[in-house]
Amino acid sequence: AWRRLEPLVHPAAGRRGAGAAQRPGGPAAPTASKLIAVRDGKSVTLKETRGEDREPSSLVSETTGDVRLSPDGGSAYLSGTQSHEDPTKDAPRPFLERVSLTDGKRDRFWQSSAQKYETATILDDAATKLLLTRQSPVEVPQTYAVDLTTKAEKALTQNRDFAPDLTLARRETITVTRADGIKFQVKVTSPRDANRPPALFWIYPSEFETQDFYNRSKRGFNKNGFTQVGGSNKAALVRLGYAVVEPDVPVVAARERMNDSYVPQLRNSLSAVIDELDRRNLIDRSRLACGGHSYGAFSTANAMVHTPFFKAGIAGDGNYLRALTPFGFQSDPRQMWEAREMYLGVSPLLYADQLTGALLMYHGMDDQNMGTAPINSERMFTALEALGKPAELVMYPYEDHGQIAKETVLDQWARFTAWLDKYLKA
């Protein structure tokens, strides 16, 4: 019998059992790896990867944790996903393979459709029966029992789409190039027949060391997935005639100096998105709001003090003075005393007198997140009020770093929509 099946990683990766070495500021870096089977001191290579793995896969296991083998014990199974260079054009396609434990030969016996997103679980050792889940941008995920021998399918679920109007909303993923040449993606959801609607930008910047790191982080984008609209999903604003814009806003720099250019990169990203969406008639650039939660709230306040683009803002559970996080923040490892100018430059509280537009802030009174104590919002609101800036602060009792009570969520929606209507539609 086979004694073990295990992955080995090239020594350059520095880690055993993982397909790549993790580097700060981006996704895992490509490396070399092997999946081998060992019997009586002899090994068989089942899979070998050099560089970036466009078809990452792993051994299929039974519920006991043991590797699932074919009835004759001569094969194991691999479950993986095929990705593509441009996921906005070609969606990821899960697959199942049978791999020989004698010579490592692989046979791909099932793969997801290119037009829909399907995932499959093997139910029997012969891999003739699958539990398959299928979805598309307009098709709610449904699960089926599939017999690969007879091609028969039996529906096991009858899930419903509870927001068909949002499912049919206009959705686009657009690639934008900003002034420094960095390319990034923007997701836009808008009323289907709208022409230049008012828009809410919902942001949360992410940090990368290079453009390549950013590109690899998007490999998992799935254009064939069904969009689930939960209770906090801002896409619901489409019902009120708004476009919802979700730009990636990458901050690209060396890890040790990640935030030195945070403000200009934020400004250039938003400017590039506005120009491109305006060119496509997807937004009315004279009626824009910006919003975000946590680091997104911090970035919203920065956008409103360092750009003239937004008439309104919504900022939740944010940090507005980086002196309150003096030992580093996000992926920047520097302490405040090492990078004093940067800490001050990215703190919107210090530029509150420059804020344009009206800012609605909210904060959980029991926020336990290390970098976003409620005092941040209290001091920012005090400053804006003293400066005569239009602002409002709502403090939610018994809420942590994310509001979950039904009463809180309903109150937020009432305040968000009233705020946007007042400053974008009036």
Which residues sit opposite 420 in a β-bridge? none
133 DSSP assignment: E
| Residue 323 structural domain | 164-425
> pLDDT at position 40, please?
64
Element (H, E) at 376: helix 375-386
37/70 same-domain check: no
187/322 same-domain check: yes
Active-site residue list: 294, 367, 401
> pLDDT at position 230, please?
85
Q: Residues in the chain with pLDDT < 70?
A: 1-32, 39-41, 50-53
What does R_g of the chain's alpha carbons equal in angstroms?
25
> pLDDT at position 5, please?
57
Domain boundary among the residues 110, 130, 159 is at 159
Quick check: 357 and 311 in contact, CB under 8 A? yes
Domain boundary among the residues 159, 181, 207 is at 159
106/211 same-domain check: no
109/4 same-domain check: no
151/179 same-domain check: no
Domain boundary among the residues 159, 176, 195 is at 159
> pLDDT at position 41, please?
65
284/138 same-domain check: no
121/215 same-domain check: no
215/278 same-domain check: yes
Q: Total structural domains in the chain?
A: 3
> pLDDT at position 256, please?
84
Name the token pair of 211: 């453009």
273/399 same-domain check: yes
The CA distance from 286 to 426, in Å, is 12
Name the token pair of 320: 């507005």
Cβ contacts of 90 within 8 Å, gap of 6 or more? 84, 114
Nearest one of 175, 170, 162, 122 to 146, comparing CA atoms: 122
**In the block, which residue shows the tokens 């969009």?**
227
CA end-to-end span of the chain, whole Å?
75
> pLDDT at position 18, please?
29
291/307 same-domain check: yes
255/329 same-domain check: yes
Task: Identify the CATH number of the domain in which residue 174 sits.
Answer: 3.40.50.1820
48/63 same-domain check: no
